[in-house]
Amino acid sequence: MKIAFDAKRFFHNSSGLGNYSRDLVRILAENFPENEYVLIEQKKSERGKEILNLPNVSFHQVKKGKFARQLKFGKAAQDLNADIFHGLSGELPFKWNDKSIKKIVTIHDLIFLRFPQFYSFFDRKIHFWKFKKACEQADLVIAISEQTKRDIIQLLKIKEEKIVVVYQGCHQTFKEKKSQEFLEKTKVKFSLPSRFILNVGTIEPRKNLLNIVKAIVDSEINLVVIGKRTKYFKKIEKCIAKNKLKNQVQFLENVSMEELSAIYQLADIFVYPSLFEGFGIPVIEALFSETAVITSNTSSLPEAGGENSLYINPENVEDLKAKILFLWNNESERKRLVERALIEVQKFTDDKIGKKLMEVYIYLQ
């Protein structure tokens, strides 16, 4: 079987959709080496080069041009005699030729409809049109969670029988116990405190970092934050200054994947009070890292966190504060949650995700 992918995010996104794209192709190529996997894009980058070096993964370059992704990628896949074209980030090409090819699209979330205040009017209209058209065009739609599946049915009016849920995984490094030497080296490099809680993700309103900062006021708990800054960061700075938390809150930049996994393992608690997620990869990164998790009781987060995470109302600072203090002061409870969660999170391993993906592809043949 030959499977072609829209590889824009694979090559050009450092996190989020990029990680999803790279993990998906890697998992398939390693677990099902008998197939061919073709990455279609106008230009490649250094990202994912180790995956591109696999013997069954190749790059097909489409000539640069306006709307090449929409007008040329599909026909390029057909000219390569691909059996399946998989749009990895909510889009499919508009133009195709007469050659037979099956079409799959992955929908990650419909946050632009759930939280329209975070998007411009123009972006909401474009996203809606592209996602709905892709779902209508596709022979099958992959939703990355049951929450996203419900949203596709409710908000895009796509029939349930056309949608299959395939969860996401995470990078292999989070599943590997780091050596004490590497942990110590990472701790020294970033001047990390002896104990801290961790938050990972873009610093934007939906991720709700402000409520974590508010929750550690009048405590001695240290918070480490790793994520791209947006305008919302100014609100965080004001809250830190107002409450004299400068020595308790630390923002890290230029963290490699290996270092990130080490920081997860060094943290006492991972705190993720997001208002809404299509899935929530940082939660399973933390669980694989054997770090206790506090996250929101909304959207898909209970799917990712399972029965052995603690859940809070993300808009209730007192609820969040109480849960943080409870775990911070209770090492035995942290250990209990971690041990049980590590068993439960195995449903997101590469082999299970790869098997489910291949079942989807074979079903279409």
Task: Note the pLDDT of residue 149.
Answer: 96
- SS3 of the chain: the string is CEEEEECHHHHHCCCCHHHHHHHHHHHHHHHCCCCEEEEEECCCCCCCHHHHCCCCEEEEECCCCCCHHHHCHHHHHHHCCCCEEEECCCCCCCCCCCCCCEEEEEECCCHHHHCHHHCCHHHHHHHHHHHHHHHHHCCEEEECCHHHHHHHHHHCCCCHHHEEECCCCCCHHHHCCCCHHHHHHHHHHCCCCCCCEEEECCECHHHCHHHHHHHCCCCCCCEEEECCECCCHHHHHHHHHHCCCCCCEEEECCCCHHHHHHHHHHCCEEEECCCCCCCCHHHHHHHHCCCEEEEECCCCHHHHHHHHCEEECCCCHHHHHHHHHHHHCCHHHHHHHHHHHHHHHHHHCHHHHHHHHHHHHHHHC
Task: Note the pLDDT of residue 227.
Answer: 92
What is the CATH number assigned to the segment(s) 172-347? 3.40.50.2000
Query: Hey, what are 188's tokens?
Result: 């020294």
Q: What is the pTM of this model?
A: 0.90
Would the CATH topology of 2-169+349-364 be identical to that of 172-347? yes
- Parse the chain into domains and list their residue ranges: 2-169+349-364, 172-347
Mean pLDDT per 10-residue segment, the chain (365 residues):
96 86 94 97 92 96 89 96 96 95 96 90 94 97 96 96 94 94 97 97 94 96 95 95 96 94 98 93 96 96 96 97 97 96 94 95 90
Task: Note the pLDDT of residue 102.
Answer: 97
CATH topology of domain 2-169+349-364: Rossmann fold (3.40.50)
Task: Note the pLDDT of residue 162.
Answer: 97
Task: Note the pLDDT of residue 13.
Answer: 87
